[in-house]
Chain A
Amino acid sequence: MIRLLALAALLAAATCCAQERAIPLSQLRSGITFAGNDVRAMQNDDGANPGLLWVQQGETLWQTQGCSTCHGDARAAMKGVAARYPAYDATSRSVLDLDARIEQCRTTRQKAPAFGRESDELLSLAAYVAFQSRGMPYAVSIDGGARAAFDRGNAFYHERHGQMNLACTQCHDQNYGKRLLNETLSQGQPTAFPAYRLEWQGVGSLQRRIRACLFGVRAAMPAPGAPELTDVELYLAWRAQGLPLEAPGVRR
């Protein structure tokens, strides 16, 4: 009996923070549900969604850059992959997001120079790979090697940042649905990314969006690819568990 209680306590302790969801799974909402009519129309219409221009380029790069040599047809090989990222990588013993995983393939296996974060090529390839998981639910693992990164991301999300001294949770857990100037605050879900953002006039990564938010609260932005950004990406992906990927999403 005492052993059972001890076991239960141990289990509870191990999973205590993982189960603390500010927004219950049943109430998760994609950013598209907070967007205006025009943005929603653009995302839902493949003939008008500009993000598909990047997906199309990614399809070409998949062939010309030799991804198909190892992976074959992306539609089969990459199905469901983006929904599992960020993920722990045993080779580098770190958590990699999709962009970092593509770069790792490129530099260590293809022995080719890296594309570079936020480069056209990397964004197009990431958009193409993520597109193969469009409509599939987020399902990342925060166990084992990913746990430390998850804990750091969780902490970052709940810390105050910047001159405005705001934590992500204050807007995106506690005040979503309310207005900030002319815009409605979303839950800050990652489902759209890589996304075509009207403000960027092009496709950008989730890391870029996180950096933009930090700029918004007047915090110093980590450089693209910085580990703290990957930590937050992992936390956001866990937080979005079950929400379907929309890549390429459209946001304002």
Chain B
Amino acid sequence: MASNAAMKPVRRRLLQATGAMLLIASRPLRAADVALPSIPSMAAWLAGRTPRFERIKLDLPSIADNGFAVPMKITVTGPFAPGPYVKSIRLFSETNPVPDMAAFEFLQPLERVEIDSRVRLAGTQQVVAIAEMTDGKLYASVHEVIVTLAGCMDGT
């Protein structure tokens, strides 16, 4: 009886702490929370410019099936006409040996801007997509991808 009464407050505090942790973990990231990872070649290309974290969405799986081929989709939402339209979209990797993954250039005033491809990721990291408009405005999206090793190593 005495031991049960002594356990109760400890157990209650543990439950409260766990509940608080769960609340924090499930809070969605707000635009203010997003920050560009440190990638020197990306910083050099930005040359001091600050992109806004809106209008562009970088879609990648949270956990990749295999780092050799990770499906990627980039969407930039309009409307664009009659104003500025998307001139280019650049893709940067946080930890690949080659951080400048790709640069896509659009020479038409498109109403629908989407890029799908498959990327190679050398391990768990953040990937950044930056769209540049014809008026110079920049929009960015960051996505983290977990890349695990295969369960069975393949030596063939």
Contacts and interface: CB of A to CB of B under 8 A. Distances in A.
A–B contact (CB under 8 angstroms): yes
Given A38-B70, A38-B71, A213 B152 contact: yes
B95 interface: no
Contacts of B71: 38, 41-42
18 contacts: A38-B64, A38-B65, A39-B65, A41-B71, A179-B151, A181-B149, A181-B150, A181-B151, A185-B151, A198-B65, A198-B66, A212-B156, A215-B152, A215-B154, A216-B152, A217-B152, A221-B156, A252-B65
Contacts of B156: 200, 204, 208, 211-212, 215, 221
B154 A38 contact: no
A200 B63 CA distance: 19
Interface in A168-221: 179-183, 185, 198-201, 204, 208, 211-213, 215-217, 221
Given A38-B61, A41-B71, A215-B156, A182 B66 contact: no
A160 to B, nearest CB: 16
B47 interface: no
Interface in B103-156: 148-156
A132 B55 CA distance: 44
Interface string B31-67: 0000000000000000000000000000001011110
A183 B150 CA distance: 7
Give chain B's interface secondary structure class. Answer: loop
Contact of B154 (A35, A182, A216, A217): A216
Contacts of B63: 36, 182
A37 interface: yes
B102 interface: no
Nearest to B61: A38
Contacts of A42: 71
B69 interface: yes
Interface residues of A, number: 27
A212 B61 contact: no
Interface of B: 61, 63-66, 68-71, 148-156
Nearest to A211: B156
B68 A199 contact: yes
Contacts of B69: 198, 201
Contacts of A216: 152-154
Contacts of B150: 181, 183, 199, 252
A4 B107 CA distance: 83
Given A181-B151, A213-B152, A215-B156, 14 more contacts: A35-B65, A38-B65, A179-B151, A180-B152, A181-B150, A182-B148, A182-B149, A183-B151, A198-B68, A201-B68, A211-B156, A215-B152, A215-B153, A252-B150
A199 B67 CA distance: 8
Contacts of A198: 65-66, 68-69
A164 B66 CA distance: 24
A164 to B, nearest CB: 10
A249 to B, nearest CB: 14
A65 B152 CA distance: 37
Contacts of B152: 180, 183, 212-213, 215-217
Contacts of A199: 66, 68, 150, 154
B94 to A, nearest CB: 20
Nearest to A182: B148
Contacts of A215: 152-156
Contacts of B70: 38
The 8 closest A-B pairs by CB, nearest first: A216-B152, A180-B151, A198-B66, A183-B151, A215-B155, A181-B151, A182-B148, A212-B154
Nearest to A185: B151
Nearest to A196: B69
A208 B154 CA distance: 10
